């Protein structure tokens, strides 16, 4: 990095350490765009990237007393950014885990498939298929997969016989398999994924 730039930055950090809000604004101006696009790349969502920018800069402000003006601010901000991106990625992964299980059950047949099937396409495809289920069946299916409730728990919650719940789940699986069998898109996507590998 240009040593002049480095000097200005270390000046700003020194001021921020003393609680100068103007310096904080200046550092936000210098780093927020970079941070926003970096987070956007990892999480693929504008609102989450915004949350990360907020998260990181709030932490910088809270911990301003610990700042070390002689060290690179760019690496300091990276440490906070990395932890924030990690946290949001793990949360996103958790929220999508039932869709991943859905894919493992209905869409992935060989270990090669995992490398071929486009992840974001998979998310959309799972939503599309689940949304095609009749309402009651969809509700039961989601309780079973997303909320991970047992057949008896679902039966109790919805005031149904366990046998009814079981039948509905079987019907749902049958429907999904049928839906995916007729789907030519899958092959297209496989081809596309091979292409970029």
Residues contributing to the site for another protein (CB under 8 A): 21, 25, 28, 32-34, 36-38, 41-42, 44, 46-47, 50-51, 53-54, 57-58, 61, 74-75, 78, 81-82, 85-86, 89-90, 93, 100, 103, 108, 113-120, 122, 127, 130, 156-159, 193, 196
Q: How far is the CB of 152 from another protein (least distance, A)?
A: 14
Q: Which is nearer to another protein, 160 or 179 (CB)?
A: 160
Q: How far is the CB of 64 from another protein (least distance, A)?
A: 10
Could you tell me which residues come within 8 angstroms of residue 176 by beta carbon, excluding any fewer than 6 positions away? 106, 129
Q: Which is nearer to another protein, 117 or 180 (CB)?
A: 117
Could you tell me which residues come within 8 angstroms of residue 32 by beta carbon, excluding any fewer than 6 positions away? 53, 57
Q: Are 36 and 49 in contact (CB under 8 A)?
A: yes
Could you tell me which residues come within 8 angstroms of residue 101 by beta carbon, excluding any fewer than 6 positions away? 145
Cα separation, 95 vs 153, in Å, equals: 21
Q: Which is nearer to another protein, 95 or 178 (CB)?
A: 95
């Amino acid at each position: 990095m240009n040593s002049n730039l480095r000097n200005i930055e270390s000046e700003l950090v020194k001021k921020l350490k003393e609680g100068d809000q103007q310096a904080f604004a200046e550092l936000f101006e210098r780093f927020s765009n970079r941070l926003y696009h970096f987070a956007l790349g990892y999480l693929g969502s504008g609102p989450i990237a915004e949350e990360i920018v907020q998260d990181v800069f709030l932490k910088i402000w809270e911990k301003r007393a610990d700042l070390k003006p002689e060290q690179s601010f760019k690496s300091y901000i990276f440490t906070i950014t990395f932890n924030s991106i990690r946290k949001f990625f793990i949360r996103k992964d958790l929220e999508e885990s039932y869709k991943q299980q859905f894919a493992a059950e209905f869409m992935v047949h060989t270990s090669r498939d995992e490398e071929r099937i486009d992840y974001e396409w998979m998310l959309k495809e799972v939503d599309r298929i689940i949304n095609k289920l009749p309402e009651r069946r969809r509700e039961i299916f989601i309780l079973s997969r997303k909320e991970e409730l047992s057949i008896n728990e679902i039966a109790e919650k919805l005031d149904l016989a366990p046998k009814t719940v079981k039948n509905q789940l079987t019907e749902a699986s049958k429907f999904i398999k049928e839906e995916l069998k007729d789907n030519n898109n899958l092959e297209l996507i496989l081809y596309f994924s091979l292409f970029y590998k």
